[in-house]
Structure 1
Amino acid sequence: MASQAAQLIDPVAHARLRTRADEARPEYEKTVSALRVLRRRHPYVRYITSFAVHNGQCVTVLDTGETESDVSHIGDPWLPDDELASVLADEHVLCNVINNDNFGVWISGTAPIRDAEGTVVAAVTVDIPAVDSRGRPLLYNDRSRTLTATLEAAAIRFSRAEVEAITDGLTGLYNHRYLHERLGEELERAQRRGSKLSLLFCDCDRFKVYNDNFGHKAGDTALARMARIIAATSRRSDLAARYGGEEFVLVLVDTDTAGALAVAEHLRSQIELSSARSKYPLTISIGIATFPDDAGTRDELLDKADWAMYAAKRAGRNCVHAFSDGIDPRPAARPRIVPPPSRRDRRARAGQALA
Structure 2
Amino acid sequence: MATACCLCYVEPQNLTGALEFLLLGFSDDPELQPVIFSLFLSMYLVTMLGNLLIILAISSDSCLHTPMYLFLSILSLADIGFTCTTVPKVILDIKTHNRLISRVGCLTQLSFFNLFGCLDSVLLTVMAYDRFVAICYPLHYPVIMNPRLCSLLILVSFLISLLDSQLHCLMMSQLTFCINVEIPHFFCDPPQLLKLSCNDTSTNKIFMYFLGAIFGGIPVSGILFSYTRIVSSILRVPSTGGKYKAFSTCGSHLSVVCLFYGTGLGVYLSSAVSRSPRKGAVDSVIYAVIVPMLNPFIYSLRNRDIKRALQRLLNRLVIFFTYLLPPHSTAGSLGFMLEDTREQLVYLLHQR
TM-score class, shorter-chain normalisation, is under 0.3
Higher relative contact order (CA 8 A, sep 6+): 2
More helix by share: 2
Give the TM-score, by structure 1 length.
0.26
More strand by share: 1
Give the TM-score, by structure 2 length.
0.26
